[in-house]
Chains A and B, each alone.
Chain A
Amino acid sequence: MTVRVQTDPFDLGAELAGFAAGRTDIGAQVSFTGLVRDDGGLRHMEIEHYPGMTEKAIAGIEDQAIARWDLKASLVIHRHGVLAPGEQIMMVATAAGHRVAAFEAAEFLMDYLKSRAPFWKREVTADGAEWVAAKDEDETALNRW
């Protein structure tokens, strides 16, 4: 398992090709990529995080996913800093024996990263800057696990 928190962009293709390379016990790989979405007027997004806690929190979430779905490999990359509309924010990738485990583990990772990893998004528009509020459904999404 790998966790990376970084300002730089990542090469999605290279990451997917590499995160479980060399293994022959994997039947399914699933990935999710989050992008900066502009619903109108977004200049850029700023992402703040809590260095130290961020890496630990993500590793803890990843450990749970690995144990629960018997993942063979997993990867989480999350960027911080200033991101333009259309840029990649983060990705998760999971590798398992079968696809159901890989899909479910990827969804679990995403649900937990949203509200349990210490990142805060701020949207900057022509009218000013505003912190993105957490949604109630992000919290209730955890109940299904």
Chain B
Amino acid sequence: MIDVLYFAWVRERIGLPKEKVETSAETVAGLVEELKAREARYEAAFADVSALRVALDQELSDFDAPLAGVREVAFFPPMTGG
């Protein structure tokens, strides 16, 4: 089980900030495909992954990254701090 977190409009489209996910995906991209296959709201949130960023255990990463050993995955749009 991994914790999957969503922020900003990704959170709004999916309709929740955080959930536990049982996955056999080997990479972030694989996890995204599993989520998209669940329901339309996931499909909508992940329609264009080039518009998204991903963090693994609170470090920025990318969609090709392996999930082995990862406890927390977060998906969000490009950041707008400052």
A-side interface residues toward B, CB under 8 Å? 34, 48, 50, 52-53, 56-57, 78, 89-90, 110, 113-122, 131-134, 138-139
- Central interface residue in A120, A121, A133, by most chain B CB within 10 Å: A120
When the two chains form their complex, are residues B80 and A121 in contact, meaning their CB atoms are under 8 A apart?
A: yes
For A60, the closest partner residue in chain B by CB is: B59
A27, B37: Cα distance in complex, Å: 59
Q: A residues within 8 A CB of B74?
A: 50, 53, 118
Known: A53-B55, A118-B55. A131 touches B77 (CB 8 A): yes
Chain A CB within 8 A of B29 CB: no
Chain A CB within 8 A of B47 CB: no
A79, B79: Cα distance in complex, Å: 15
Q: A residues within 8 A CB of B78?
A: 115, 133-134, 139
Q: How does the 8 Å CB contact mask read for B59-80 relative to A, with 1 for contact and 0 for none?
A: 1100000000000001011111
Known: A110-B82, A118-B76. A131 touches B58 (CB 8 A): no
B-side interface residues toward A, CB under 8 Å? 5, 7-9, 55, 58-60, 74, 76-82
Closest 5 CB pairs of A and B: A134-B78, A119-B81, A53-B58, A120-B8, A114-B82
Q: B residues within 8 A CB of A90?
A: 81-82
Known: A56-B58, A118-B55. A131 touches B79 (CB 8 A): no
Q: B residues within 8 A CB of A110?
A: 82
CB < 8 Å: which of A113, A134, A138, A139 contacts B77? Answer: A134
When the two chains form their complex, are residues A134 and B82 in contact, meaning their CB atoms are under 8 A apart?
A: no
When the two chains form their complex, are residues A120 and B80 in contact, meaning their CB atoms are under 8 A apart?
A: yes
Known: A118-B7, A120-B8, A122-B8. A50 touches B76 (CB 8 A): yes
Q: A residues within 8 A CB of B7?
A: 48, 50, 118, 120
A60, B11: Cα distance in complex, Å: 26
For A135, the closest partner residue in chain B by CB is: B80
Known: A56-B58, A120-B76, A134-B77. A50 touches B5 (CB 8 A): yes
Q: A residues within 8 A CB of B59?
A: 53, 56
